Structure 1
């Protein structure tokens, strides 16, 4: 049993909301899906309403719910906090799936200081499935509902990772905004170099193949989603600046320094210290990945 007899998932027709709605229903929760503009194929399966100005049916559902989950865009979620919190019964849990935490923390402090709340950010595409994957969990106000929802995530195979709001935004600026900036900048460089991608694919060593695969994966997604990640996180701009500065430093080391090999020795030592005890595990993970690509022997590909 989920611990939530009745739940409301706002935005439950979307990929993230749908994942959580399915998890709740599988655990026996009577789950109402709410969307302002549901897709035609799901219109009969959800309540059409605006959570920022709930109508009578939605208001009644919010009053009865043990859990209200906001799986909507940040702008909508922030506007929904005050009207939803006014309707929720004491002891009910409010949750959201935003990828940026600091704005929600401020809104909760202003309009729902006594409401139990947790933010859940799945660090993966919902189509990939939750099993074995991390879900960042930012607890604003702890309680039995938070514990129950985190247990539900674990029962679905997810790995909740607790972070503060500040830790979350700083971490996600690196794991998402910086990572996507690296991949898309790599693609832009390929375009400017005028190379034939079919030739690259035919001749590329494993590291380049991995970068091409990452680029292909990103390009299969929504530009709007990737743009939101870059614009919404207050720390994303500093991550991009760090990337640009690092590339300029590397260009200097590789081409303009008096002894590039000697300079790179220092860079390697610095980065090995940065990786610390994760270095060996990362090397093993990469070797396993390369074996998957090319079925190499135990030595794998190391230097190219």
Structure 2
């Protein structure tokens, strides 16, 4: 085994060979970061049919990297090897290349769900191989600095663990040590519902056939987070989200509950606003008030379970930046913001200022967590992705702002402009839930690609704004932590 102080500055003959099987977006990110750090012996491969494409890409971007035609050459030569392949195919790939693993090598996987990876490694890797898996909890376009990097020492010596830590140190990520089982629970709790919400929002907007921010809707403030992150998800590869959702039992349960929460809340909104017509009797009005109270109680119950009493002093700074700062990253433009709910009977025009809305996606997310007794803050500092941190911040901003929450409930009951979109959202959420329940990767891909095509013309703009927004929020979070530690 290599020295515990091994570094890129050591002689090339003293350095370990780093291998990467799978040159998708994350595999490329890892290869680039290792090369930039100065490691001299990096061997990579993708599928054999992609050899020429990968070779040309590497020659243009990381010419010091050695490209092989298949995983056998990489496995035979590598002292530390990463399988960066889709979770759906990890078993098949490890079965093919695992027997070629170099004696005493450290083997890792960079999949988003670890149960299939664990099974494949235990079944197909040689007994002398050290199994120390990893997972960067962010996408390939997000800076690794300060982000959580999970390390799972499943079957590795102390020296093997030191080697992995040293090789990854140049990423400047924050190491989080978990077991395979803990990893899948944590990632489900921090990603499953978040992804389901954004996927459903995107599908709902695509089904309506228009970009909502261009219609004066969902513009500015916390709407900026929803729009930018939904488009950010659809600009990534579908399998990144499919593996986590379909192969992780904890995630499947949460996605099902999210769809159920969205459906039940939407029905309660319709019932509470069901008698908006004139000529209601006093008895009918009293019944409507009871239904409104029922909706409020459901929302307040979820708020209490997840966030606690909003009147009590918080021990930490809120996650979300001010809405004024978020406005800078908006795809749409809104010059004014309504501070009160408009008359439900008033006419709404396209030139109307930004409207309050039901925030059904947020209400359903918190309701889902409450029903499953999930505390989202438990994993916030441990292993939160940038998307989870932002969307939790949006929910926190809504639920701990009594005036904003009252506007939301009033809009959910009395406004009609967003009901068609809310209906599309519920249908989308249930559709994604059924897709995951049936464990169909093919249907998942088709649903994802169908929506992706609709938003594709706006990916460049959304990617730029979304990236800057994430940087601003993460920088604010790091400043807060620095202040606490000083």
**TM-score after normalising by structure 2:** 0.52
Highest RCO, 1 vs 2 (Cα 8 Å, sep ≥ 6):
2
Which segments of 5 or more consecutive residues in structure 1 lack a partner in the other structure?
Answer: none
Counting only pairs closer than 5 Å after superposition, residues 1-304 of structure 1 correspond to structure 2 as 1=7, 4-11=15-22, 13-25=23-35, 26-35=37-46, 36=48, 37-38=50-51, 39=53, 41-42=56-57, 46-51=66-71, 54=72, 58=73, 62-82=75-95, 84-112=97-125, 113-143=127-157, 144-191=159-206, 197-198=212-213, 201=216, 204=219, 206-251=221-266, 254=269, 255=271, 258=291, 259=293, 260-273=295-308, 281=316, 284-286=318-320, 288=321, 290-294=323-327, 302=401, 303-304=403-404
Q: What is the SS of the residue equivalent to 1:293? A: helix
Count residues in correspondence.
289
Distance 1:114 1:20 in 2: 25
Quick check: which has more Rg, 1 or 2? 2
Distance 1:123 1:101 in 2: 13
Q: In the alignment, is the contact (CA less than 8 A) between 1:117 and 1:146 conserved in 2?
A: no
Distance 1:178 1:225 in 2: 15
Higher strand fraction (1 or 2): 1
Q: In the alignment, is the contact (CA less than 8 A) between 2:98 and 2:124 conserved in 1?
A: yes
**TM-score after normalising by structure 1:** 0.79
The CA deviation string for residues 264-290 of structure 1, in whole angstroms up to 9 with x for no partner, is: 333321222499x9x654x6221x253
Which segments of 5 or more consecutive residues in structure 2 lack a partner in the other structure?
Answer: 1-6, 9-13, 273-289, 329-396, 405-486
The CA deviation string for residues 52-84 of structure 1, in whole angstroms up to 9 with x for no partner, is: xx3xxx1xx534432122122335532343554
Q: What is the SS of the residue equivalent to 1:117? A: strand
Distance 2:297 2:131 in 1: 52
Q: What is the SS of the residue equivalent to 2:135? A: strand
Distance 2:222 2:130 in 1: 45
Distance 1:189 1:241 in 2: 17
Distance 2:224 2:116 in 1: 38
Q: In the alignment, is the contact (CA less than 8 A) between 1:81 and 1:108 conserved in 2?
A: yes
Distance 2:308 2:218 in 1: 33
Q: In the alignment, is the contact (CA less than 8 A) between 2:43 and 2:78 conserved in 1?
A: no
Closer, same or farther: CA 289–215 of 1 in aligned 2, 3 Å: farther
Q: In the alignment, is the contact (CA less than 8 A) between 1:153 and 1:159 conserved in 2?
A: no
Distance 1:83 1:192 in 2: 42
